[in-house]
Amino acid sequence: MHSKLPDTGTTIFTVMSQLAVEYNAINLGQGFPDFMMSEELIALVNKAMLDGNNQYVHTNGLPLLREKLAHKVGQLYSTSINADEQITITPGGTYAIYTALTSILNKDDEVIVFEPAYDSYIPNIIINGAKPVLIQMQFPSFNIPWDEVKSKITDNTKAIIINSPHNPTGAVLREDDIEQLKQIVLDKNIFIISDEVYEHLIFDDISHQSILRYPELLEKSFVCFSFGKTYNCTGWKIGYCVASATLMKEFRKVHQFNCFSCNSFVQVALVEFLDNEAAYLSLGKFIQRKRDYFQSLMQATNFKAIPSYGSYFQCYSYKDFSDENDMELAIRLTKEYGVTTVPLSSFYQSKKDDKVLRFCFAKKEDILREAAERLSRV
């Protein structure tokens, strides 16, 4: 059989998580919280099931839920969204990204991807017969080199993928980045895939530069979100995509034959829970406290923090005390010190090694404390 993804193996998250289990290590590699989600939301899901909401809902998502999301977009970003035509509920944010790419890409199209990149982007492009055009963000600030982006635009450029807050680095896009993006795409037939699953996990009172703030960019964009990241329930795998009516029509052609309908009872519960604005508006401060706590603990180690402004993640440099490549050190930390991380090189196709590891700090305080104590011995 001819593989459609011949160069793709098991994801680094699976590899490191299996290693963590094998060595009974603290897993700061995979990006999921280890603390309880909202008991109120759990109760609403249970009630929805008991009330009989266990059959298919509309393929585009429960209409009431889409209306609540359109209202939320209006409140947060002052943009008017048509709930019927512009929002589709999806089984997670990663699925939304895949579906968006699949709905626009043809053979030999080019998609600009910024590295380090979330690991699904490039396989999504390749499986559609298109070509990823890789641009490295500027280390160690992880800013986008917009002049290089302009130089890589060709007649085949179909899309640009952006991700803010950024996984794996915690970098965020600023207003100037959006202005540069506008200059590049507004007079060309180039689409934007905007991965905004960490929309509410943004720190230091920074304003999230959602594409939803910019109607002229939204016309050319698919904007992807995750309830799992917003409500600390990553295993629920439920998210949504917002796009212009024209683009959403194409998105839904792919969606309806790939996932006819997303789980009903969760959507029913979310309709009610979305009225609790504090649940998502307080998330940034809550997760920031974990970033700050872990950062303070890590000062007792030899690792040097690289600023994180959002997401579950912070990168730390170890170049001052080891010449090992990052994969070697990540494995050694798991085996010898009982702490699992993810090597940053795994987010580059070239395996670029800047002597940096990614840590997930969305964990209970005692877990972070124990992890830092173990790392202080390195």
In this predicted structure, what is the pLDDT of residue 9?
83
Whether residues 327 and 232 share a domain: the answer is no
* Domain annotation covers residue 263: yes
Whether residues 99 and 132 share a domain: the answer is yes
Q: How is 175-230 classified by DSSP, letter by letter?
A: HHHHHHHHHHHTTTT-EEEEE-TTTT-B-TTPPP--GGG-HHHHTTEEEEEEHHHH
Question: 276, 293, 326: which is the final residue of a domain?
Answer: 276
Whether residues 252 and 308 share a domain: the answer is no
Whether residues 272 and 286 share a domain: the answer is no
Categorize the per-residue pLDDT at 10 as very low, low, confident or very high, splitting at 50, 70 and 90.
Answer: confident
Whether residues 192 and 287 share a domain: the answer is no
In this predicted structure, what is the pLDDT of residue 7?
85
pLDDT tens digits, one per residue of 172-194? 999 999 999 999 999 999 999 99
pLDDT tens digits, one per residue of 240-292? 999 999 999 999 999 999 999 999 999 999 999 999 999 999 999 999 999 99
| Distance from C-alpha of 4 to C-alpha of 176, rounded to nearest angstrom | 38
* Domain annotation covers residue 369: yes
| Distance from C-alpha of 353 to C-alpha of 327, rounded to nearest angstrom | 9
Question: 244, 259, 276: which is the final residue of a domain?
Answer: 276
Whether residues 258 and 312 share a domain: the answer is no
pTM above 0.85, yes or no: yes
Element (H, E) at 266: helix 264-273
In this predicted structure, what is the pLDDT of residue 91?
98
- Residue numbers of the domain that contains 355: 12-30+282-375
C-alpha separations of 265 from 34, 41, 44, 256 in Å: 23, 11, 9, 19
* Domain annotation covers residue 47: no
Question: 232, 257, 276: which is the final residue of a domain?
Answer: 276
* Domain annotation covers residue 302: yes
Average pLDDT in the chain: 97
Q: How large is the average pLDDT for residues 133-148?
A: 98
Dihedral of alpha carbons 81, 84, 89, 94, sign: negative
* Domain annotation covers residue 303: yes
Beta pairing, strands 26-27 & 339-340: parallel
Q: How large is the average pLDDT for residues 57-72?
A: 98
Q: Are 34 and 17 in contact (CB under 8 A)?
A: no
Residue 234 sits in a domain of what CATH number? Answer: 3.40.640.10
The backbone torsions φ and ψ at residue 322, rounded to the nearest 5 degrees and listed phi first, read -150, 145
Whether residues 252 and 288 share a domain: the answer is no
Q: Are 28 and 371 in contact (CB under 8 A)?
A: yes
| Distance from C-alpha of 177 to C-alpha of 222, rounded to nearest angstrom | 18
pLDDT tens digits, one per residue of 218-254? 999 999 999 999 999 999 999 999 999 999 999 999 9
Categorize the per-residue pLDDT at 61 as very low, low, confident or very high, splitting at 50, 70 and 90.
Answer: very high
Whether residues 204 and 78 share a domain: the answer is yes
Residue 354 sits in a domain of what CATH number? Answer: 3.90.1150.10
Whether residues 286 and 269 share a domain: the answer is no
**Has residue 8 got a pLDDT over 90?**
no
Q: How many domains does the chain have?
A: 2
In this predicted structure, what is the pLDDT of residue 2?
87
Whether residues 166 and 311 share a domain: the answer is no
The tokens for 129 are 């017969």
Whether residues 243 and 350 share a domain: the answer is no
* Domain annotation covers residue 161: yes
In this predicted structure, what is the pLDDT of residue 1?
85
Whether residues 117 and 139 share a domain: the answer is yes
C-alpha separations of 173 from 72, 136, 176, 202, 324 in Å: 21, 15, 8, 11, 31
In this predicted structure, what is the pLDDT of residue 357?
98
* Domain annotation covers residue 311: yes
* Domain annotation covers residue 36: no
